[in-house]
Amino acid sequence: MDTSIAIETRALTKHFPTTENALVSIFSRTVGPSVIQNVNLSIQTGELFGLLGPNGAGKTTLLKMLATLITPSSGEAWVNGHPLEDADSIKASLGFVTTDERSFYWRLTGRQNLTFFAHLHAFPPGTLANRVDELLAVTNLQDKADQPFRTYSTGMRQRLAIARALLHRPSILFLDEPTRGLDPPSIRALHQLIRHELTAKQGLTILLTTHWLQEAEGQIQAYGTLTDLRKMLGTRGKYHVHTETLTPNVRVTLEHYAPTALPSESIPSTLTLPDDVSTLNQVLDTLRSAQIPILSIAREELPLETIFDRFTDTTRMPSDTLPPSSSTTPAFSHPPPRLRPSPPGFGLGPNFFRIAGAFLQRDWHMETSYRLAFLLDFISIFFSVAVFYFVGELIGVQTAPFLAEFGGDYFAFVLVGIAFSRYFGVGISSFASNLRQAQTTGTLEAMLATPTPLSTIILSSSLWNFGFATLQVLAYLFVGWLFLDVPIGQGNLLAAVLILLLSIVVFSSLGILAASFVMVLKRGDPITWAFNVLFTLLGGVYYPITILPAWMQTLSTFLPVTYGLQAMRLALLQDAPWAAILPEIIPLALFGLVLLPLSLFAFRFAVRRARQDGSLAHF
C-alpha cells in the first residue's frame, strides 16, 4: 500500500432515486440522473486539497461518500488505505467538519459537547479531559468553554466543529464549506488555523470544499494545480509594463517586437505583452536605450474565478480545451477488488456501556437545564394518581364484579395499568422519536461520523426515556402503596420483574419497527399511532377486557400488551403463583421471539436503504 496517497477514487458515481411515492419506493425504485459521475482523485498525504464547485455540484455528496455516510452507486475509493466498506477504520482516521450549526447540542456548553462526542470515539477516560482542554486552546475557545453553545457566534461554532473533528487525532480532515456565513475577520482567523496549525504543524491531509453561485453538473471537469489548469485551457498570462510617454521612434520599434502591445493613449503608457520572457527583454532593452523611464512591471495570470467559469461553462469552452483523460485520471496504488460490507446490525458494541453512560450524562444535563419542566413532570404524577383514586371511589362498587380476579379494587387495577403503559409508551415511541429528533436537530450526522454504530446511538438515546419511565412508575406505585393502601408490597415481585423485562423486549421490538419505518419513508409514524390506539382501546389499561364485545376480546388476543398487563396485575395485585401466571407469560415470550428478529431485519434493511438514498440524516 502506498502510504503517500491519503485519498483515491476510481470512477466514483452516485445516482439518487426519483420515485415520488414513498411506499412504492420500498419495492420499486427509479434511478435519477447522476449527482456525482466518474470522479477520479488522488490526494497526497499532508496535502491541502481544495475542491471548487458551484452549489449543487455534488461536493458534499462526494465528502459523505468518502466518509461512508452515503453508499456510492458505482466506483471505488480508498481513504487512508481503507476501502469504503471498511467504515470503522475510515471513521477512526477521518474528521468531518460541516457548516451545520444544528449538529451541536445548544443547551450544553462547548466543553460538554466535546466531551460527549469524545466518548463516541471510545476515547480513553483518563486522557479525555486533557484532550478536550487541548483542543479548546488550539481553537482559542478556552475562555468560552463553559458557556452554552447557543451563546456562541458563528465563527466560534465553526471553530468548535473543527475541535470536535480533531478529538480522535485523525490524519485526514474534511472541511465542507468552512467559511460559509463567516465575516472577513473570522475567515482570516479560520484560514490561519487551517494553514499554520492543521497543515503546517500537525501535517493533516485536508480536503476542503467551497462554492460559487453558478450551476454545473457533479462531474470532475479538471484536476491539477493552478499552473496545470491554465495549461489545460491553453491560455497564457500577460506582462504589463508601465512607462512614461513613448516617442514616435520608440513606438515604431516596439511595433516590430509586439505589434499588439501599444496602447491607444500615450500618456502615461501601459504596454501589454504576451507571456514571453524574450519579448519582454527586447521591449525593456528598447526602453532603456531610449532612456524612457520604466515605472513598473507586473505579470498577470488568468485568475481562478475565470478558470472556474471556463471549466464549468461548457457552452463557452471548446471541447479541445478539456484535458485528456490521462491528465485528470491519477494513477492508483490500490487493487480493484471490493470487500463484502458487513450488515448494519442492532446490538451492543465493545464500548456500549461507556457510550451509554455518555448519553445518560448528556440527557441529564439537557433535561435539568429545563428545571421547571423537569420538576412539573414529577408533580403531575401526584395529580394523576389523585384523579384516578377519586374516580375509583366513585365507581368502585359498580366495577367490583368485573375486577374480582384482580382483587376488586378499581384504583389498584388502573394504577398498575397506568404504570405499565409508561413502559409501553417509551418502548413503542422512543426509538422513532429519538431518531427523528436527532435528524431534525442535525446531531445524527455528527454522531454517524464517529465509529459508533447507528444501533448503539439509537439504543443509548432511549436509555434516559426508560430510566425516567422507571422513576415515574416507581413514583406511581409508591404513592399508591404509601398513601392509598394499594397492596403492591405483597405481590409476586420476581414474576413481575420477568414480565417487565419480556414486555420491554416486545415493546422495544415494536419501537425498532417504527424507527425503521421513519428512517425509510419519512412520512409520519403509523406503527406507533396504530399500536397506541389498539393498546388504549383493547389492552385493558383503564378497564378489564372482559367488558368488551366478544369480537373485540378476540382482537385483543393478538396484542402482546394484553398478556403482559394481565400477567403484571396477577403478579402484583393477587400474588398469583407461577402456574397462574405462565399462561400469560408464554404468549408474551413468543411475541418477543417473533418480533425481535423481525425488527432487527427491518432495521438492517432501513439503514442500508437510507445509506443508498443518502437520507440517514433527512427528516
Share of the chain above pLDDT 90, in %: 24
- Cα 469 to Cα 354, 422, 474, 529: the distances in Å are 22, 6, 9, 19
Examine the pLDDT at 218 and tell me if it is beyond 70.
Answer: no
What mean pLDDT comes out for the span 533-540? 89
Examine the pLDDT at 569 and tell me if it is beyond 80.
Answer: yes
- Of 82-96, 228-242, 309-323, 331-345, the range with the highest mean pLDDT is 82-96
What mean pLDDT comes out for the span 483-508? 82
Q: Which of 113-127, 264-278, 305-319 has the lowest mean pLDDT?
A: 305-319
What mean pLDDT comes out for the span 451-478? 84
pLDDT tens for 139-194 read 889 999 999 999 998 889 989 999 999 999 999 999 988 887 777 788 788 888 88
Q: Which of 201-210, 233-242, 440-449 has the lowest mean pLDDT?
A: 233-242
Q: Per-residue DSSP letters for 156-173?
A: HHHHHHHHHHTTT--SEE
pLDDT, averaged across the chain = 79
pLDDT tens for 317-340 read 433 333 333 334 444 454 443 333
Strands 205-210 and 172-176, bridge-based pairing = parallel
> What's the confidence (pLDDT) of residue 2?
62
> What's the confidence (pLDDT) of residue 315?
45
Is the dihedral angle over the CA atoms 455, 460, 461, 465 positive or is it negative? positive
Length of the chain: 619
> What's the confidence (pLDDT) of residue 277?
76
- Residues near 435 by beta carbon (within 8 Å), at least 6 away in sequence: 444, 458, 461, 515, 518, 519
> What's the confidence (pLDDT) of residue 515?
87
Counting runs of H as helices and runs of E as strands, what totals does the chain give?
Answer: 22, 11
The fold adopted by the segment(s) 5-221 is Rossmann fold (3.40.50)
> What's the confidence (pLDDT) of residue 314?
45
The more confidently predicted of residues 378 and 421 is 421
**Radius of gyration of the CA atoms of the chain, in A:** 34
The domains of the chain are located at 5-221, 236-301, 352-613
- Of 241-250, 268-277, 387-396, 465-474, the range with the highest mean pLDDT is 465-474
What mean pLDDT comes out for the span 469-498? 76
> What's the confidence (pLDDT) of residue 195?
84
Q: In angstroms, rounded to a whole number, what is the distance separating the alpha carbons of residues 46 and 199?
A: 7
- β partners of residue 300: 238
Q: In angstroms, rounded to a whole number, what is the distance separating the alpha carbons of residues 194 and 200?
A: 8
The CATH number, out of the four listed (3.75.10.10, 3.90.470.20, 3.30.70.1150, 3.40.605.10), of the domain defined by the range 236-301:
3.30.70.1150
Which pLDDT band, with edges at 50, 70 and 90, does 28 fall under? low
> What's the confidence (pLDDT) of residue 501?
92
